[in-house]
């Protein structure tokens, strides 16, 4: 009898302890995809996070989580940042690597605010809503573009932005957050915010995020000492105007830029990100404890590999997702996982023209994929991922090029080129910085399938393309793309469905599906 009781107790202990074991296996990064410049807050038991997607449209994605690990895109702050040639890919202009940058997400008196700035427009943009998941959003903008600012609502009702690089300014805003307050505070609060890291050159302290905790002000910045690594610098003060005292908050693995968030139970974390090769800049969570009024980041100064948080269910379908392009009545035309490369032309795409298909029409003549309007994108994800698409090329015109691409400056394309009355399967490799057509195969059917496999393990950063004539048997296409995270684009690689004209506008293709998964299929 005693043996039976002990057996039951052992089983009960295993079940009780199992969740703790599972929690300890959550790995950093918490999102292995390009989600940089994150700003995070908690309202009740719900977490929200904004991020940078620069030249993409819609912009400033808003993500939601109940546990800090599993995130889902629930909204965007804007559909269109501005209507101008650079954002519309018109007249030979583009805004790669610019558009809207680091956002600041705040909640004040029942209203959500997210602010950003854009070199492209030369303005600071502020978006607000009572319903962060469903909107609508109210937009205001004003000059100048306050670089890497932190929006902050103080307890006395005053509103500020801290902005700058190295030399940080405190700028007071109107109470309704519509512009800089005439006669308000506008002064330098930290002359050289990089000093605690001992930096001499390199990246000056920027990416400000300001918090008020137990009556003290805490300012987070990133700096990058020459010859060193990305570093978290923290300053604190008793008054928002200073004086501020600073110290290094974290210097490990280059994990930096972000701020603080707490759980309903009172556990603190720093949310930060890391440059992680061609997949992009990926978010990390770092545990925080408090000592002598300072947040102490990491486990003995190190970024932990695992976290005691709920298990990750993966990035599909919250961050990326497959799409059959079938829409029921009341469905939004495109799920939120999709973003256009620059502003789209609404007249040139449709999910209604042919039921169950995405139609992309050509509207202007361009010579290069990077200037093609209406390329529809989703993030790649690590450590490996694969995406495939099917398209009907029946209505392509002479000079059209359509298919599945990997978007960055050094892009790769698998598609169909129409030349006169003939069509060919083509792979273009721009891994060297210049596009090269590396393979061309005659095509004599109207339905074609393409696939791209990405391998980001250990920053291998390579991609392989395939085509299929039946959707089952895959054939290698072209050569391997060596992906590179380039500063001109400042973004991780994205899968892209594209169609553009090089001779005359008017043709179209119909995409039947887009499939994405977090494995590379061994059966090619």
pLDDT at 8 over 50: no
pLDDT for position 6: 40
Q: E strand or H helix at 472, and its extent? A: none
Q: How far is CA 24 from the centre of its chain?
A: 26
Residue-wise pLDDT for 407-423, tens only, equals 999 999 999 999 999 99
Cβ pair 415, 500 in contact under 8 A: no
Cβ pair 388, 451 in contact under 8 A: yes
Closest CA to 493 of 278, 340, 281, 342: 278
Cβ pair 435, 427 in contact under 8 A: no
pLDDT at 491 over 80: yes
| Distance in angstroms (rounded) separating the CA atoms of residues 193 and 205 | 6
Backbone angles phi, psi at 269, to 5 degrees: -140, 155
Q: Report all structural domains of the chain as residue ranges with CATH numbers, in order of start.
A: 40-254 (2.115.10.20), 339-517 (2.60.120.200)
Mean pLDDT of 387-412: 98
Q: What does the H/E/C string look like for 8-59?
A: HHHHHHHHHHHHHHHHCCEECCCCCECCCCCEEEEECCEEEEECCCECEECE
pLDDT at 316 over 70: yes
Residue-wise pLDDT for 35-89, tens only, equals 999 999 999 999 999 999 999 999 999 999 999 999 999 999 999 999 999 999 9
pLDDT for position 11: 39
Q: How far is CA 282 from the centre of its chain?
A: 8
| Distance in angstroms (rounded) separating the CA atoms of residues 442 and 81 | 42
Burial pattern 177-191, b for ≥16 Cβ within 10 A else e, equals beebbeeeeeeebbe
Cβ pair 415, 403 in contact under 8 A: yes
Residue-wise pLDDT for 327-338, tens only, equals 999 999 999 999
pLDDT at 496 over 50: yes
CA distances from 101 to 52, 53, 404 (A): 6, 7, 27
> Average pLDDT, whole number, for the chain?
94
Closest CA to 272 of 289, 252, 290, 291: 252
pTM over 0.85? The answer is: yes
Which DSSP string corresponds to 472-515? SS-EEEEEEEE----TTT-S--EEEEEEEESS-S--EEEEEEEE
pLDDT at 22 over 50: no
pLDDT bin (cut points 50, 70, 90) of residue 193 is very high
| Distance in angstroms (rounded) separating the CA atoms of residues 392 and 446 | 6
Total residue count of the chain as it appears in this document: 524
Residue-wise pLDDT for 258-304, tens only, equals 999 999 999 999 999 999 999 999 999 999 999 999 999 999 999 99
pLDDT for position 200: 67
């Amino acid at each position: 009898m005693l043996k039976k009781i002990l057996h039951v107790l052992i089983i009960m202990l295993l079940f009780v302890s199992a969740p703790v074991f599972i929690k300890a296996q959550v790995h950093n990064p918490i999102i292995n995809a390009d989600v940089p410049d994150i700003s995070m807050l908690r309202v009740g038991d719900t977490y929200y996070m904004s991020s940078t997607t620069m030249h993409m449209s819609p912009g400033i994605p808003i993500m939601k989580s109940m546990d800090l690990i599993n995130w889902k895109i629930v909204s965007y702050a804007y559909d269109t940042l501005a209507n101008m040639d650079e954002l519309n890919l018109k007249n030979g202009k583009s805004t790669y690597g610019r558009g809207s940058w680091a956002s600041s997400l705040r909640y004040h008196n029942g209203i959500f605010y997210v602010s950003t700035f854009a070199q492209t427009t030369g303005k600071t943009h502020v978006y607000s809503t009572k319903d962060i998941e469903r909107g609508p959003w109210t937009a205001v903008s004003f000059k100048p573009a306050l670089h890497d600012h932190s929006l902050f609502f103080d307890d006395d009702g005053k509103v500020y932005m801290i902005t700058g690089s190295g030399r940080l300014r405190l700028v007071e805003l109107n109470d309704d957050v519509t512009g800089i307050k005439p006669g308000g505070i506008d002064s330098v609060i930290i002359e050289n915010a990089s000093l605690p890291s001992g930096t001499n050159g390199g990246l000056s302290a920027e990416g400000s995020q300001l918090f008020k905790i137990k009556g003290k002000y805490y300012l987070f910045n990133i700096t990058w000492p020459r010859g060193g690594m990305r570093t978290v610098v923290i300053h604190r003060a008793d008054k928002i105007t200073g004086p501020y005292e600073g110290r290094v908050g974290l210097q490990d693995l280059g994990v930096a830029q972000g701020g603080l968030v707490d759980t309903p139970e009172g556990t603190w974390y720093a949310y930060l990100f890391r440059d992680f090769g061609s997949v992009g800049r990926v978010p990390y969570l770092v545990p925080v404890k408090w000592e002598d009024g300072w947040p102490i980041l990491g486990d003995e100064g190190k970024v932990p590999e695992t976290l005691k948080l709920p298990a990750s269910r993966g990035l599909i379908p919250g961050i990326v997702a497959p799409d059959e392009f079938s829409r029921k009545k009341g469905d939004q035309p495109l799920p939120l996982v999709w973003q256009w490369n620059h502003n789209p032309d609404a007249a040139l795409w449709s999910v209604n023209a042919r039921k169950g298909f995405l139609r992309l029409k050509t509207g202007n003549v361009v010579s290069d994929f990077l200037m093609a309007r209406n390329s529809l994108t989703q993030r790649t994800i690590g450590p490996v991922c694969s995406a495939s698409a099917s398209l009907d090329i029946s209505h392509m015109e002479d000079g059209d090029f359509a298919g599945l691409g990997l978007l960055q400056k050094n892009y790769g394309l698998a598609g169909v080129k129409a030349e006169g009355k003939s069509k060919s399967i083509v792979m273009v490799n721009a891994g060297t910085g210049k596009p090269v057509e590396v393979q061309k195969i005659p095509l004599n059917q109207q339905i074609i399938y393409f696939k791209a496999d990405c391998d980001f393990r250990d920053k291998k950063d390579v991609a392989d393309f395939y085509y299929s004539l039946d959707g089952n048997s895959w054939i290698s296409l072209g050569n391997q793309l060596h992906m590179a995270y380039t500063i001109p684009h400042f973004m991780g690689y994205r899968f892209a469905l594209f169609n553009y004209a090089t001779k005359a506008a008017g043709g179209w293709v119909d995409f039947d599906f887009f499939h994405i998964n977090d494995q590379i299929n061994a059966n090619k």
